[in-house]
């Protein structure tokens, strides 16, 4: 069954973190922050919702990075129960798909908990003051990618945030596999 996160809590302040990236460097919120906003997304390697739209996530993130928006992806799943989400497999996925953003490992799941992440993918779009402005979907795709001409909800919302500092009033929640919490 799909998990659905709550609607955007406007101006909620992004919690800081310090996490290892698949490139062996440490990243914090400050080091991934963009001049026009920041997108933090919770994804994982095995989720069919993520895999169905991974090419669109990469397309939109490349475009957002070009617009001065910092981007980072975080995987928080229990890798003992889901070994396909291991750090080594994260590195492989990142390299094979040429991720333009850091892919970070939240081994103790504390960052996912501090963000109240619910599913993969779960998108958190912040303005330049690190106030939450978007917590919605990438587009109308679900477990399978929708048509190529779908409205780019995440991209459009984040470009609005970059321009105005404010996200759209009406947002549609993302949907995906639940975060795989440790016992």
**What is the pTM (predicted TM-score) of this model?**
0.96
Q: What was the pLDDT predicted at 34?
A: 98
CATH class of the structural domain 18-178: alpha beta
The answer, yes or no, to whether residue 173 has pLDDT greater than 90, is yes
Question: What is the pLDDT confidence band of residue 101, given thresholds at 50, 70 and 90?
Answer: very high
The answer, yes or no, to whether residue 93 has pLDDT greater than 80, is yes
Domain chopping of the chain, boundaries: 18-178
Angstrom distance (rounded) from CA 33 to CA 180: 27
């Amino acid at each position: 069954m799909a998990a659905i996160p709550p609607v955007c809590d406007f101006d909620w302040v992004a919690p800081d973190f310090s996490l290892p990236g698949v490139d062996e460097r440490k990243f914090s919120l400050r080091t991934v922050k963009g001049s026009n906003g920041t997108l933090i997304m919770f994804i994982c390697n095995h989720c069919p919702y993520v895999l169905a739209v991974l090419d669109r996530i990469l397309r939109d993130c490349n475009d957002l990075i070009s617009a001065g928006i910092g981007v980072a992806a975080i995987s928080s799943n229990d890798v003992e129960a889901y070994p396909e989400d291991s750090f080594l497999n994260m590195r492989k996925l990142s390299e094979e798909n040429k991720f333009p953003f850091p892919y970070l490992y939240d081994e103790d799941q504390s960052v996912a908990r501090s963000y109240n992440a619910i599913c993969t993918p779960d998108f958190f779009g912040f303005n330049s003051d690190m106030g939450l402005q978007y917590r919605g979907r990438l587009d109308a795709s679900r477990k399978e990618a929708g048509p190529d001409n779908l409205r780019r909800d995440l991209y459009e919302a984040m470009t609005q945030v970059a321009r105005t500092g404010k996200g759209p009033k009406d947002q549609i929640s993302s949907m995906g596999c639940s975060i795989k919490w440790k016992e």
